[in-house]
């Protein structure tokens, strides 16, 4: 599974389970270069997912209001220093979840997005 296929799968799962998803895609400049126009610190996570919370009708699962920042990596992908810095900053914020997700985590990601707590 490519990183792009993995990202598309996570976005689809999140949307299916009622999450709002934000991802910034690079665009091509007039010179033909690909660039993600960013103001601020580089290394920001790939996805921001927000759920306003709900009780699943007739089920034991309940999704509490949640904000998740997810960095998506291939099986062997490594975090840059800037990505590590963002992860450390986000992990220090109460009530925010920060994850580095890989394709091997897909079943646990699905469980998390349907309302179960993240299992390490």
DSSP state of 89: H
Q: What is the mean pLDDT of residues 76-97?
A: 96
pLDDT 10s digits, 43-65? 999 999 999 886 655 555 566 77
DSSP state of 58: T
- Looking at residue 24, what is its pLDDT? 87
Residue 22 pairs with which residues in a beta bridge?
48
Q: Which two tokens stand for residue 17?
A: 């389970």
How sure is the predictor about 75, in pLDDT bands with cuts at 50, 70 and 90? Answer: very high
pTM for the whole thing?
Answer: 0.86
- Distance in angstroms (rounded) separating the CA atoms of residues 100 and 79: 9
CATH of segment(s) 3-24+35-113: 3.40.1350.10
How many angstroms separate the most distant Cα atoms in the chain?
Answer: 55
- Looking at residue 55, what is its pLDDT? 61
């Amino acid at each position: 599974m490519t990183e792009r296929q993995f990202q598309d799968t996570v976005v689809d799962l999140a949307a299916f389970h009622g999450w709002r998803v934000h991802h910034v895609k690079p665009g091509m400049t007039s010179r033909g270069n690909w660039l993600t126009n960013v103001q601020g610190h580089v290394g920001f996570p790939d996805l921001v997912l927000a759920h306003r919370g709900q009780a699943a009708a007739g089920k034991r699962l309940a999704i509490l209001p949640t904000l998740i920042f997810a960095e998506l990596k291939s099986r062997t992908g490594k975090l840059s220093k800037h990505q590590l810095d963002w992860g450390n900053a986000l992990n220090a914020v109460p009530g925010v979840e920060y994850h580095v997700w890989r394709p091997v985590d897909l079943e646990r990601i699905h469980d998390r997005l349907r309302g179960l707590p993240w299992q390490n």
